[in-house]
Amino acid sequence: MRLDRFLCELNIGTRSQVKEYIRQGIVSVNGQIVKAPDCKIAEETDRIVFKGEELFYRQFVYYMLNKPKGVVSATKDNTADTVLGLLDAPTGKNLFPVGRLDKDTEGLLLITNDGALSHRLLSPKNHVDKTYLAEIRAPLSCEDIQALETGVDIGDDKLTAPAKVKVLSDRQITLTIHEGRFHQVKRMLQAVDNEVLSLKRIRFGPLFLDESLAPGESRLLTTQEVALLHES
């Protein structure tokens, strides 16, 4: 890999910025200052140091985004802002959202370039739980809760899989599901003659939304969080 591309992929700067850094002599490869941006390196084994800090190449990257309302869960869109546009992320990483949240839904969204992990997390047979905080129009009855936790008809070929309901107040619940059908949470509440007024995903598998992230903010997952995802 070219040295300037390596620095760009680690989000050190734009291509023009990292070329200038290299020419300034503040980048070394295996202890030697290198001033040629097109210098070829072995990104997995060479020791690259920038301003005294050693850099490590990562083939896969994992971000937690607190998705705001009004943004679509896509890599590109002709009419609306996308979640990728919110990331301060390396270029050239082929990032994509794992699953989707509706445009008017906010909360935890995982963004990565690890296709194999994404496939495992989204596969229905793996039963990866997703928990949503929902503001609803009316209180749920005991019969409503039992129906949601057993499975309801949302107009598909089969009933929804059993869910878990936790009532926080008359108008606020959490709903945990492991499927990912179109508008599923909204349709489940409609099936019991209710309505979702606002929706926020607060958990995806072993990950809980980092409440320090304001809507639109993101961060890299920790090594421990990535390991938990793989284990799940």
pLDDT digits (tens, 9 = 90+) for 139-189: 999 999 999 999 999 999 999 999 999 999 999 999 999 999 999 999 999
Instruction: Output the pLDDT for position 90.
Output: 54
- Are 190 and 154 in contact by the 8 Å Cβ rule? The answer is yes
The residue among 60, 64, 138, 127 whose CA lies nearest residue 101 is 64
Residues with catalytic roles: 102
Which residue is it, tokens 């040295």? Answer: 3
pTM, whole model, 2 decimals?
0.80
Instruction: Output the pLDDT for position 79.
Output: 86
CATH architecture of the region 3-55:
Roll (3.10)
pLDDT digits (tens, 9 = 90+) for 61-90: 899 999 999 999 998 888 889 999 998 765
The residue among 64, 57, 76 whose CA lies nearest residue 8 is 57
Query: In the chain, what are the domain boundaries?
Result: 3-55, 62-123+207-231, 129-204
Instruction: Output the pLDDT for position 92.
Output: 53
Domains 3-55 and 62-123+207-231 share a fold: no
Residue 124 confidence class, pLDDT cut points 50, 70, 90: confident
Overall CATH class of domain 129-204: alpha beta
Which CATH number does 62-123+207-231 carry? 3.30.70.580
pLDDT digits (tens, 9 = 90+) for 38-47: 999 998 889 9
| C-alpha triplet 107, 111, 117: angle, nearest 5° | 120
pLDDT digits (tens, 9 = 90+) for 201-213: 999 999 999 999 9
Q: How far is CA 178 from CA 125, 161, 164, 224, in A?
A: 9, 8, 10, 22
Q: How far is CA 40 from CA 2, 3, 169, 202, in A?
A: 5, 6, 60, 43
Percent of the chain surpassing pLDDT 90: 77
